[in-house]
Chain A
Amino acid sequence: MKRRNFLKACLIGGTTIALGKTNKGWASGSFEGYPEAMGVLVDTTRCIGCRSCEAACNKEQKLPEPDTSFDDPSVFEHERRPTSKAYTVVNRYQKEQPSGPVYRKVQCNHCNEPACLTSCFVNAYTKTKEGAVIYNSKVCVGCRNCMIACPFNAPGYDYDSATNPIVKKCILCYDTRLKYGKPPACVEICPQEALTFGHRADLIKLAHERIRATPERYVDHVYGEKEVGGTSWLYLAPVGFDKLGFDTTLSNDPIISNVKDFLGMVPMVLSIWPALFSGIHLLAKHEEQGGHGHDTDSNQEDTKP
């Protein structure tokens, strides 16, 4: 009887855990991104801060009207970030420098191994083969873990909506353009061709070629080539990236690699704990039967006769 109960107990415990068991191919090794993935190279030396990309994004994605017009330069007074109402913003840096201001467009960088995707517990994010990181608002629960996880602070949340708040971010115009091989709206409108659209692999070569051809124009780094495992959006800059609001402390490993320490220990706990603690229980019980006895008045109804 006792043994049967014990086995039963273990079985129930085991089932409970099996339900919670979640480890499926976590360690994806080093994913270099889809070979056919597209991307955009942002040459900050070319950008003149006209904010046409913001306007184009606003119209293409049918976002609400902006607080102030898209040719209002006063927005540059503060550093801005993408929100649910503006998937891309242009910030101004180095205003005081004699070489003139440097403008930087900010949006979702479409990582090869997106942190948002790996942190999402309903798998709302997809990295498409075209390189876009898209989002399924139909399953989003609204935990906003993706916003915590995103190293570039790209996703914005629709806090204003009470009934259907969703995460909103740049999707590389996937639905309307990228899917058909067309460049995103911001690239198409850019008058200076500060944004170059193409295959990510080609863009990396192109970026290095620009640095090689005009080394006085650029710092020798392509931001996004390696950062957090590589991103579809790549940047060239005339000055150190840290001076343009880029996070230069990011590791070259994707964000998920930080989490692997924990994920790696999950199967260990799942397999060792039941055996360990059931074993300890048996040991403790044996000792008890060996004469220690237990607090007789403490065990509710089932006191020993």
Chain B
Amino acid sequence: MKKMIQHGLAIVDSPYDEDGKKRTLVNKLLLGLTPSQYLLQAFRNPFNWILAAIFAIGIPILIGRFFFGLAWATSGSNDYPWGLFLGFGLFAMVPLSSSGFQLGTACEIFGRHDLEPIERLALLNGLLGYFFAVMYLLADLGQPWRLPYPMVVSFGPAAVLFLVAWHVATYLSVQVAEVSSAFFEWIGFPAGKRAIRRITLGLTVSGIILSTLHQGALGALFTYAPGKVHPLWYSSSFQWLHFFVSSLPGGLCMVITVSTIAAKTMAWRGDSRFHEKLDKVTVSLAKGACMGIATYITIKLIAIAHDNKWAYLDTGWGQWFMFEIIVGFMLPLTLMTYGVHTRKMNVVRLGAFMTVFGVVLNRVNTAMITFNWKLPHREIPPWREVIISLTIFATYIVVYRFILYRLPILFKWRRQEQEETVPEAVPAPALGRREASSVPVASYSSMTKLD
């Protein structure tokens, strides 16, 4: 892509190409390239080859899981009913996706408009994280085709999982709505965007509520197994708080991580606003994450003190716990604080990566590694389970990249500037007739803003 841009390719960032002609959907999908050019750049990317290799092995196994059953694909253990698909896929993806509601809140509720360059990335990160958490769930459920049952067939309203199901489903639609404004811009459907804009506050507030509840609820799921989760990872009173609070830095640091990767690997896609503001925004996010981590470490220690579990720290499990807390939370906290003060962005970013690692490790520890700590044997996921998890994650990356390449997430859809200049180049009536999207600027400026 980089090379092509050097060779004079104009990136798609407005409904019109450099000649002032309206881009077709196919053109937009192909990033303004011809099909052969598109394929060429795809083949040239070594990362695509890695992905292709993963899919070549993983997709048949993923399909096999549905034909031969869970016993074939996973450890199928009665003692460890939740394996990698949920332990990693659901429990780790969801906290890393809390970015959507946090940035939504910061921008729309608290009026932190300086964070807006990253707001859409955060929303998208939330949407995709949840979406793929559900994909992992579908791979794991014994009868995935019955997923809508808690909504329509049979209700178990006293169950925490019932709350999770409803909230994730509702929140997923909230997030689709939130992200859809970028999609409407891209596809050229301003009426849709306006409609979303009007309900933004409602969406954002419901996002906060739903997120608070289901991030916490994922933790509360483990309060059903008080004897099975290791005491250092378990607290009847604090479990949901641990999950909720750690999801806050988890989501923010995931956005830092993704934006770092995006700024490095798809620099062409971000506009100048994104690149210029990125460091400043990263510092803001890191500050927020630091507050979250500090709170998290505090309540984690309070929980240990509350149930007087200090003795457990002196065991092998205790060392593993200390590793998680130190490498996953305390060290990143130090790094990010230091990085923020000295404006050493690499240090901040390293801290963010480690926080993401820490949150993932915490979830995998709770759901799998320390689960059933009293049983003599630990479950090691068989290779097919690992491959399937990897395949779903690779799909997540591909979809993420596909959207970032196209929708105005990292850049602004140059619409207004175009509309001001374009009418001279292109006859306005033609536009008007072609698509409702080309309704003149007036409709935009008259639009009522909520914030």
Contact = CB atoms under 8 A, between A and B. Distances in A.
B444 A301 contact: yes
Interface in B156-195: 156-167, 170, 174, 181, 185, 190, 193
A142 interface: yes
Q: What is the predominant secondary structure among interface residues of chain B facing chain A?
A: helix
Interface string B102-132: 0001001111011011000000000000000
Nearest to A298: B116
Contact of B142 (A142, A255, A301): A142
| Residue among A123, A153, A281, A301 with the highest chain B CB neighbour number at 10 A | A301
B224 A22 contact: no
B71 interface: yes
Contacts of B450: 2, 5-6, 9
Given A9-B200, A124-B154, A165 B227 contact: no
B156 A141 contact: no
A30 interface: no
Contacts of B68: 162
Contacts of A294: 111, 113, 451
Interface stretch (B14-22, B78-86, B251-259): B78-86
A121 B159 contact: yes
Interface residues on A, range: 35 or more
A297 B206 contact: no
B191 to A, nearest CB: 13
Nearest to B238: A261
Given A122-B154, A148-B82, A19 B166 contact: yes
Interface in A107-140: 115, 118-124, 136, 139-140
Contacts of A302: 197, 444-445, 447, 449
Given A139-B149, A145-B224, A153-B79, A299 B154 contact: no
A149 to B, nearest CB: 4
A284 B81 contact: no
Given A17-B210, A122-B155, A151 B227 contact: yes
A111 to B, nearest CB: 13
In this complex, the interface size class of chain B, counting residues with CB under 8 Å from chain A, is 35 or more
Given A121-B156, A295-B113, A161 B236 contact: no
A139 B82 contact: no
B160 A20 contact: no
Interface of A: 1-2, 5-6, 8-14, 16-17, 19-20, 22-26, 81, 83-84, 115, 118-124, 136, 139-145, 147-149, 151, 153, 155-162, 164-166, 247, 249-251, 255-256, 258-259, 261-263, 265-266, 269-270, 273-274, 277-278, 280-281, 284-285, 287-288, 294-295, 297-305
Given A140-B142, A141-B142, 17 more contacts: A2-B448, A5-B450, A13-B206, A20-B213, A22-B166, A25-B158, A139-B154, A142-B143, A148-B228, A162-B69, A164-B143, A259-B160, A261-B220, A284-B109, A300-B181, A300-B412, A304-B449
15 contacts: A5-B201, A10-B205, A20-B166, A20-B213, A24-B157, A83-B78, A121-B156, A122-B155, A145-B161, A155-B78, A159-B74, A259-B223, A273-B212, A280-B109, A281-B111
Interface of B: 66-72, 74, 76, 78-79, 81-82, 105, 108-111, 113-114, 116-117, 140-144, 146-147, 149-150, 153-167, 170, 174, 181, 185, 190, 193, 197-206, 208-210, 212-213, 216-217, 219-228, 236-237, 239-240, 273, 374, 408, 412-413, 415-416, 444-445, 447-451
